[in-house]
Every structure is written in structure tokens, then in C-alpha cells.
Amino acid sequence: MAGSLSLLRRLYLSLYNWVVFIGWFQVLYLAVKTLLESGHEEVYNAVERPLQFAQSAAFLEILHGLVGLVRSPITATLPQISSRLFLIWGILWSFPEVQSHVLVSSLVISWSITEIIRYSFYGMKESLGFSPSWLQWLRYSTFILLYPIGISSEVGLTYLALPHIKSSEKYCIRMPNTWNFSLEYFNVAVIAIAFYIPGSPHLYWYMLGQRKKVLAKSKAE
Amino acid sequence: MKVTVVTRSGKELFKGGLELSDSATVADLQEEIHKRSKKFYPSRQRLTLPVQPGSKEKAVVLTSKKSLKDYYSGNSNNLTVVFKDLGPQVEYRTLFFFENCAYYWSFAALMSYYVNHPLYTPVSDLQMKIGFGFGIINQIANFYCHILLRNLRSPDGSGGYQIPRGFLFNIVTCANYTTEIYQWLGFNIATQTVAGYLFAVVAASIMTNWALVKHRRLKKLFDGKDGRPKYPRRWVILPPFL
């Protein structure tokens, strides 16, 4: 019984990782193709659906961590996924005014390269039981360049959206109401930007530490 | 006796070692180290017995109350201890106080912003009275729970756990948390704000966490063996859920 459960787990996780891998591959392909053929203003329109699909599927990863299907602590995955979903739905989808900005291209390309590497890494581990050392090297090295690019794009796009957030009053809840609650979405966006100040160096530092550990281990093997 | 204090890399911290009386305690040693090096106050010192290189044993940590005699095999009048600097120490109590204050004051500010807002919409008079009435009853019950808990402490302050008894403790392990949760529920029924309910949910989950730990600890301690009483079956914090 235990054997077939762990087999089922491997099958499910393999399927999950490879499907999302294909999603992100699609995003990268469409982004680069559109960038070269039509210019950065058209990139968002081209990638919108596969991007929303691939990133929102990551929500499942929170469940995987909660039910113990994977070992990753949700304290690490939750902030990462929240910031991604905030960007995709809370900024890009909600405020079309920023969709034509060049930062969308840098955002989408840096995210998709990172995710393609990550999901194929985990996909191989689940389906083949191991992943090749060059893929592991990529996983623990490309972040050095891609994280700063991605983070700058995230903060940049949120900052560019601020005046539109303020003037549109979208997602704002005003008093009076029976539940005595109010929400100023502008403040939410500002706080989100503020989180990047301690959050980014911490995440980067953590990944550097992981890199040292993992690559030293594989060198010893 | 002579005590040689070395760092973890083997270097002697005080050339020639320290001279202490044969009946000295570890606390005396820590004081002597502090005297010789002002920076290293006792709570910053971690003193262990040296471990054989290659041995997988965990180092024996010297506890301040014990006497130094307990730690050496007694063949020479010389004891070697390994010193580690734990860095500047903040008392746990201080840190806890800070975090506690920040938590309470932040939530209080958030809740009072809405309750005192010029556009605050009050609930019906009846609902307000029911809410506050229920809240006050639980507040009084909570106070009584804390009196009972305080009386559990032995008069000489020797610490150690007792099985709480009486009043709601006969049904629930952490009746004090239970009454507090219901008290906040009453407050929220009376004031009806999202912020208030949010606070109540956060407070309830923190207290539930603590209650589970306390319950587990009491059950483990009072296992019915060696003449100890067995911990009776009780709800942890919120019957019939937990």
C-alpha cells in the first residue's frame, strides 16, 4: 500500500512539474518571438493566458507543502508565490496602462527562464530519480543574474502602476459599511514595494548560501 | 585548584590558568573569567569539558550551580575547560516583552482606528449589550482562572508543574485561554469590525498553539508512573473542537 502511494505521488508530481514546465516554455517562446517581431508593447498580450495559467498553477505548491507531499516549508514558498500572483493579477491584469511597458518583457523573460530550469529540475528528479549536474548548476547559478532583473521589474511595474491605482480607486473599500472595514489598495501596493527592501537581500543571500552548499556537495561526490 | 581555560581552537585564554579554591562552583569560575576579561559577563560564557578529537560525543556543558569538583576525574589538581563566547546576550524576558508590546499595540491601533472612525457604524443596541455582557462574564471568569493558576505555584517558588483543578479547569486544560477567546468574541459581537475579528482569529490561533504545547507537556509529565498522578482526560482549549 505504501509502495503504491509513493508511486502515485511520484506520478502526480512528475505530471505537475512537466505540465507547468511546458506552460513556462510557452511563455518564454511567445515572449521572445513577440519581442523580436512586434516590439515590447505587444509582449503582454501575447503571453497573458499561458502566463496566468503557469503562475496560478503554482498555487498548488502551497497545498503540496501543507499536505506534506513535498518537503519545502511553506514559509519559503508563500511569499514567493504571493508576490508573483500580486504582480500578475493585482498589477498587470488589473491596470492595462502598464502592460505595454518594456519591464513586462524583462519580467516575463527572467521569470520564465528561472521557472523552466526549476520545473525541469524537479520534473527530472520525480520521473527519473535524479537530475543531471549541469541542470543543477543552472538552477543554482542563473538566479545570480535573473533574481535582480526579475525583482527590479516587479518593483518597477508596481511603482509605475501607483498613479493608476490611486486615480481608479479599484479594489478600494470605503466607510461607512456594516463591517466597519476599509481598504486603500494604493497602500497595499506601497507596502508590497516596501517588503522588497528587506525581502530581496534576504532571499538572494539565502540562495547564495544554498548554492555554496549544493555545489560543494556535488563536487565532493 | 588550577583551571586552564582554552578556546575551541586550543589556545589558552588566560596564560598560566586561573587559581580557584577546591570547593569553588562553576559560577565562581565564571565570575573569575569575567573579572579577568570584562567583556565576557557570565551569561555570555559557554563552558564545556574538552571532547576527545574524533569522538562523536556531545560536549558536557558546565552548569553554574554545580561545583567544579563534579567535573574532573580528580587525578590532578588541574581542570581544563573549553570556552565559547555566545556573544552579547539579551534576556529572553526583554525580547518577549518587546514583541508582546509591539503585537498588542499594533492590533490595538488597528482596531481603535475603525471603532473610533467618524464613519463607524454601530450595531443594534441589543447586539451591543449581548456582546459586552458575554464579554464581561468571560473577563471575570478569566480573572478567576488566573487566580487559580497562581495558587498552583508552590509558596517557596520552587517551580515545577501541577495539574490545574477547579472551575473550568476540570473540563479544559487551558481554561484561561478559553475564557479569553470567548471574551474577545463578545467584544467583536458588540463592536463588529473586520479588524477586531482579525485580531480575535490571530489571538485564538496563538493561544491554541500554546494550549496544545501545555496540554502535551502535562500529559507527558503526569503519565501515571512512579507515583505521579495520571493526567485526566480533558479538552485542550475549545470543546467540542479541541
Higher-confidence residue: B38 or B185? Answer: B185
- H/E stretch holding A214 reads helix A185-220
Strand order in the sheet with B45-48: B18-19, B2-7, B78-85, B45-48
| Phi and psi torsions of B86, nearest 5° | -80, -5
The reported pLDDT for the residue numbered B155 is 65
The reported pLDDT for the residue numbered A161 is 97
Interface test with A, best of B114, B124, B189, B198 (most A CBs within 10 A): B114
Active site residues of A: 147, 154
State the pTM of this model: 0.72
Question: With a CB-CB cutoff of 8 Å, which residues 174-213 of chain A face chain B?
Answer: 175-182
Which residues in chain A are contacts of B195 at CB distance < 8 A?
180-181
| Confidence check: pLDDT of B236 > 90 | no
B189-209: per-residue pLDDT in tens? Answer: 999 999 999 999 999 999 999
When pLDDT is cut at 50, 70 and 90, the band that residue A124 belongs to is very high
Q: What is the spatial distance between Cα A203 and Cα A129, in angstroms, rounded to a whole number?
A: 28
Q: Hey, are the CB atoms on A179 and B119 less than 8 Å from each other?
A: no
Per the omega criterion (within 30 degrees of 0), is the bond before B240 cis? Answer: yes
Q: Are B203 and B111 in contact (CB under 8 A)?
A: no
| Confidence check: pLDDT of B158 > 60 | no
- What is the percentage of chain B residues whose pLDDT exceeds 70? 95
Count CB atoms within 10 A of the CB of residue B162.
Answer: 14
A3-38: per-residue pLDDT in tens? Answer: 788 889 999 999 999 999 999 999 999 999 999 999
State the average pLDDT for chain A: 92
| Confidence check: pLDDT of B77 > 80 | no
Cell of B237: 482549549
The reported pLDDT for the residue numbered A84 is 93
- CA nearest to A178 within chain B: B121
The Cα of B222 is separated from the nearest Cα of chain A by a number of Å equal to: 32
The Cα of B128 is separated from the nearest Cα of chain A by a number of Å equal to: 14
Question: With a CB-CB cutoff of 8 Å, which residues 82-111 of chain B face chain A?
Answer: none
Cell of A131: 537530475
* B114–chain A Cβ distance below 8 A for any pair: yes
B43-60: per-residue pLDDT in tens? Answer: 889 998 888 777 777 888
* B121–chain A Cβ distance below 8 A for any pair: yes
When pLDDT is cut at 50, 70 and 90, the band that residue B160 belongs to is low
- CA nearest to A176 within chain B: B119
| Confidence check: pLDDT of B157 > 60 | no
| Confidence check: pLDDT of B17 > 90 | no
The reported pLDDT for the residue numbered B74 is 62
* B119–chain A Cβ distance below 8 A for any pair: yes
| Confidence check: pLDDT of A177 > 90 | yes
- What is the percentage of chain B residues whose pLDDT exceeds 90? 39
Return the amino acid letter for B126. L
